[in-house]
Amino acid sequence: MRERSKTILAAALCLSFWSCAGFATEKKVDQDNADNSATMSRFIPVELFTGAKWDGKHELRLQEVSTTACASVIGSKRPCDKYDITGPFKTETNNTKIEWAGDQVSYYRRAFINRGGPVESFFTINNSKDGLVRIYDKRAQWGERTYKGLGSKFPLGYWKQGEVRTYASDRPTKIEIIELDGPDHCLTFRWVIGRGKGRNSDNNYTFCPDRGFTKISHNNTSEQLDPKLQATFNNGVIKGNIPIFDQQFGNVWTNIHQDSLKQVGIKLGDTLCVLVKEGNITKLDTKLPYLASFGKVAVGEPLVYVNSLSNLSFALNQANFSAKHHIASGAQWSAQIKQCN
């Protein structure tokens, strides 16, 4: 009854239709966040892909948009690439295997410029309605290509942390949720097509509300595959380095892959002894919980989680871990973890 009274009072204080609409949207998003925590799942709307404002409704719709996202490449010093999304448009005929679309397929057009020149792609909701799929692509090195709409390029609908889905397309496609609900409610997932051995066939993507596409990291670069740069483990102790850190959020990223944890018996929920050094100088010697997402700790509290590169990261929920502990990145920075007794 008290909560209902608050809602009535807030609604009465709305000064215009738009302020009332904003209040309703905020309530829906708050409720969505609560539902995410309760069910350990998240509804991913089309608006997370486009960067458009979402009204909180759990519906997959191709709403009219004209947005520009700015996505940076992890490990690259060049400015972020701009991605323009417009639509929806309609194809003249349906030459795909997307049955729900009828005689014409509604789609978004995404355009950007990479090192090879202009790129233009068309995206629509796939037949299983759990992802966006590419149906057309044009770029200098390939020319024009059309696709049947099989597979997925971006997850939609209800997904859980760590969930993996595979799609039987011309080259089998896999999507894995790396970080379902990261800082600022951002989503990071891994997309692999075929065997994932070619460039841009095994990537991690990050999308954030009201911004859309913000980050990409390539999982098959020569640097990441170099065995000299891989972490080592012995007698339950894993030793690695801090090659980069997330400058936007201040999370400290190691090169300790999540697969290393399984090999020494570390699992989610365990407490880890964490040691960070700059050369021979100890910068951090503490205990941190190893958790699936930021939502597992209170605001300002620390955790160890798997980042968008599938490596361990040290972070604070909605705060800057790197700044607080004066940790940077580079060849002289090392990280060591083990399961605490």
Distance between CA atoms of residues 204 and 200, nearest Å: 10
Does residue 4 or residue 131 have the better pLDDT? 131
Tell which phi-psi region holds residue 40, choosing left (phi > 0), alpha (psi between -120 and 50) or beta: left
Tell which phi-psi region holds residue 101, choosing left (phi > 0), alpha (psi between -120 and 50) or beta: alpha
Q: Is 25 helix (H, G, I), strand (E, B) or coil?
A: helix
Average pLDDT, integer, range 100-112:
95
Q: What is the pLDDT of residue 168?
A: 85
Architecture in CATH for domain 226-339: Beta Barrel (2.40)
Question: What are the sequence ranges of the domains in the chain?
Answer: 43-220, 226-339
Residue 184 scores a pLDDT above 70: yes
Q: Per-residue pLDDT tens for 264-318?
A: 889 999 999 999 998 888 999 999 999 988 888 998 999 999 887 788 999 998 8
- Mean of the per-residue pLDDT values of the chain: 83
Q: Are strands 237-242 and 232-234 parallel, antiparallel or unpaired?
A: antiparallel
Distance between CA atoms of residues 9 and 154, nearest Å: 40
Confidence band (pLDDT; 50, 70, 90) for 333?
Answer: confident
Distance between CA atoms of residues 230 and 240, nearest Å: 7
Q: What is the pLDDT of residue 35?
A: 52
pTM over 0.75: no
Show the tokens assigned to 241: 């380095």
Q: What is the pLDDT of residue 301?
A: 93
Q: What is the pLDDT of residue 33?
A: 57
- CB neighbours of residue 261 within 10 Å: 22
Distance between CA atoms of residues 212 and 206, nearest Å: 8
**DSSP state, residue 290:** B
- Percent of the chain exceeding pLDDT 90 equals 46
Residues in a beta bridge with 141? none
| Contact present, 337 and 236 (Cβ < 8 Å) | no
Residue 328 scores a pLDDT above 70: yes
